[in-house]
Structure 1
Amino acid sequence: MTDTMTAGRDIGAAGRSTTTAGRLHALGRAELTLLVRNRTTVFLVLMMPVLLILVMRSTLQEIGLEKSGLTVAGASLSGGIGMVLLQVVYMNLVSAYVARREELVLKRLRTGEVSDREILVGTALPAVLLALLQSALIVSVGTLAFDLSAPRRPELLVLGVLLGCVLLTALAAATSALTRTVQTSQLTTLPLFLVSMMGSGLFVPLDLLPDPAASVCELLPLTGVLTLVRAGWLGGVPGDDVLGAALTALAWTALAVFAGQRWFRWDPRR
């Protein structure tokens, strides 16, 4: 309750701001305060992607990657960026949106100067910035410590990460509409998490799957993002596949933004 009251005072400052940047800064600062004070969330956000990268590394060593043309380090670390996006942006934001809704923070914000879009974006800012920093750290560590090449197409890598942030932020807003409490967010986020882990190339590159299964998995929400990330960092992806991945990611992003705007709930589900 104390954290909520503190955040309410910080967010209230956004209503007195005269610019969009000022309001977003106040919202983001308040959300960052709540994030830092929640030790469980901080652990999940910072440590879980690292632990899952280690799990992916051991799994990839068992299955062999000769057909995919990737190394164990390259596959696990590029997949680790996908884990950061899922854990830090998607799963964390579903909990944040639901918590602010049930605490009536969102409802109070709508009575002020802040627009609905600013509320959603401002709440997401700390998670998105943290995901960008962690992704940059993964690339840096991979390049320096695991003998991987520097990003071959950095523009594709940046595009993939940014699209992933927008896509998963919008999907978090849509998923929060189906989530009654913060506790049940662990269940409502599980389907996308499992589907992305098994079918979007996080654990197993699509080149190792049978052709019919790979064709279906190419259409999953996070597959296009991960294809862009791997093409940008490691290369080896044909131009047609990169274009198809970009179009798939953009299509899912547009659908997710529409769903988030259409079905997001501002009032508590009681």
Structure 2
Amino acid sequence: MNTVVTARLRALSRAELLLFGRNRSAVLTALLMPLVLPVSVRPAMDQAGLKGIGLGTLTLTAAIGFSFLFAVYSSLVGAFVARREELVLKRLRTGELSDAEILTGTALPVLCLGLAQAVLLAVGCTVLLDAGAPRAPYLTLFGLVLGLLLSAVLAALTAAVTRTTESAQITAAPLVLVSMMGSGIAVPADVLPHRLAAVCELLPLSPAVRLVRAGWTGELSAFEALRAVATALAWTVVAVFAVRRWFRWEPRR
């Protein structure tokens, strides 16, 4: 049975990869945004003067956070909506694939892209910006997995309230902007007022971004790391429930 499911997911992922590759704007956004945007926020990081945290670590955290937002989340919102509007999802549901398999197969190519991009960014920042070796690599791994997973689930949830492919960028914008400013991506959490930072820690992608950075700095205690993981898992469970309840498989008429 597992072999059959794997074969189905492989076939669906291959088809989705071909469709994704034909959308040049989506490919450029997914590939270039996580590379270009960290450079644009670098002056602010230079002026932040954070306690002993290197510029390489801050840039790496920002780059991986932007990968969550653009390579995975924004790309998948557009992909889910486009497949729904083209009746691809409806046709797939008439076959042997389960709903979970359809959504997973659609998301897999983009998730693999996000993971590969994160690895390349980590290597690049370590070599070029002297980010150094991670002090707690398991935290970065947890952050990557949770960030990629939650970005995909949130994309499916956002697609549920998106009417057309043209409006996908608009409906994705609120989470992108809030996460950029409050989750420690474009603005390091250390420079925010204490009370605001405490609230921003509860944003969906904040725990994943915090874990990614903590893997390099080793700044989190065991309790803080467990709390971040628990918060990310809670958001994931809530988002999965919402997707199961409200995801739309057919176009709105």
- Same fold flag (TM > 0.5): yes
Displacement of 1:18 = 7.1
Equivalent runs, 1:225-236 vs 2, <5 Å:
225-236=208-219
Query: What TM-score comes out, normalization by structure 1 length?
Result: 0.90
Work out the CA distance in 1 between the residues paired with 2:213 and 2:234.
Answer: 19
Pick aligned residue for 2:20 from 35, 38, 52: 35
Paired residue for 1:52?
A: 37
Cα drift, residue 72 of structure 1: 2.0
Alignment of 1:13-92 (within 5 A): 19-61=4-46, 63-67=47-51, 69-92=52-75
Q: How many residues matched?
A: 252
For the 8 Å contact 2:204–2:235, the answer to whether it is kept is yes
Contact 1:65 1:72 in 2 (8 A): no
Aligned to 1:199: 182
Could you tell me whether the CA contact under 8 Å between 1:163 and 1:249 is conserved in 2? yes
Measured in 1, the distance between the counterparts of 2:41 and 2:32 equals: 14
Structure 2 counterpart of 1:166, one-letter code: L
Residues 50, 190 of structure 2: 8 Å contact kept: no
Which is further off, 142-151 or 126-135?
A: 142-151
Q: Does residue 231 of structure 2 align to residue 269 of structure 1? A: no
One-letter amino acid matched to 1:64: A
Give CA-to-partner distance per residue, 1:63-104, whole Å, 9 cap, x none: 32334x322221121121011011011110010000000000
User: Which of 148, 153, 160 is residue 143 of structure 2 equivalent to?
Assistant: 160
Please list the CA deviations of residues 131-168 of structure 1 after superposition, one character each: whole Å capped at 9, or x if unmatched.
00000001111111211212221211111111111111
Q: Secondary structure at the match of 2:97?
A: coil
State the partner residue of 1:140: 123
Q: Which runs of 5+ in 2 are unaligned?
A: none
Q: Residue 76 of structure 1 contacts residue 203 of structure 1 at CA under 8 Å; is this kept in 2?
A: no
Mapped partners of 1:155, 1:73: distance in 2: 19
Q: Deviations over 1:221-266 (max 9, x none)?
A: 1110011111112322233322221111111111111111111100
What is the TM-score when the length of structure 2 is the normalising length?
0.96
In the alignment, the residues of structure 2 paired with residue 143 and residue 18 of structure 1 have an alpha-carbon distance, to the nearest angstrom, of 38
Q: Structure 1 stretch 181-190 or stretch 139-148: which is displaced more?
A: 139-148
1:216 aligns with 2:190: no
SS at match of 2:101: helix
Q: Tell me which amino acid in the other structure corresponds to 1:71.
A: G
Does the 8 Å CA contact 1:57/1:73 hold for their aligned counterparts? no
Q: Distance in 1 between matches of 2:226 and 2:155?
A: 26
Indicate if the aligned counterparts of 2:48 and 2:191 stay in contact, CA closer than 8 A.
no
Whether the 8 Å contact between 2:38 and 2:186 is mirrored in structure 1 is no
Structure 1 stretches lacking a partner, 5+ long: 1-16
Letter of the 1:79 counterpart:
A
Contact 1:217/1:223 (8 A) holds in 2: yes
